[in-house]
Amino acid sequence: MASKRPQPIPKTGVAAKLTASQRLVAEMFVTNDIHNYRIEDIAREVGVSERTIYRWK
């Protein structure tokens, strides 16, 4: 799945508390149509398990 590289989220407020992987997932949701992604796809692209993504919700 080809996607453009999202712009970084400023590391202030809640974003400052996120890990690098969590920020990447947040950027993916903010900059893309999330209905085109499955949790499996996001987890693979970020390099974490699906279970980890669900724990972050």
Please say whether the beta carbons of 51 and 40 come within 8 A: no
As a whole number of angstroms, the distance between CA 14 and CA 3 comes to 25
pLDDT of residue 26: 83
Please state whether the predicted TM-score (pTM) of the whole model is above 0.95: no
As a whole number of angstroms, the distance between CA 10 and CA 12 comes to 6
pLDDT of residue 16: 76
Per DSSP, 5 falls in state: P
Q: Is the dihedral of CA 42, 49, 57, 11 positive or negative?
A: negative
Q: How many helices (H) and strands (E) does the chain have?
A: 3, 0
pLDDT of residue 32: 75
Encode the chain (57 residues) as per-residue pLDDT tens digits: 555 665 665 666 776 788 888 888 888 888 877 788 888 988 898 899 999 988 887
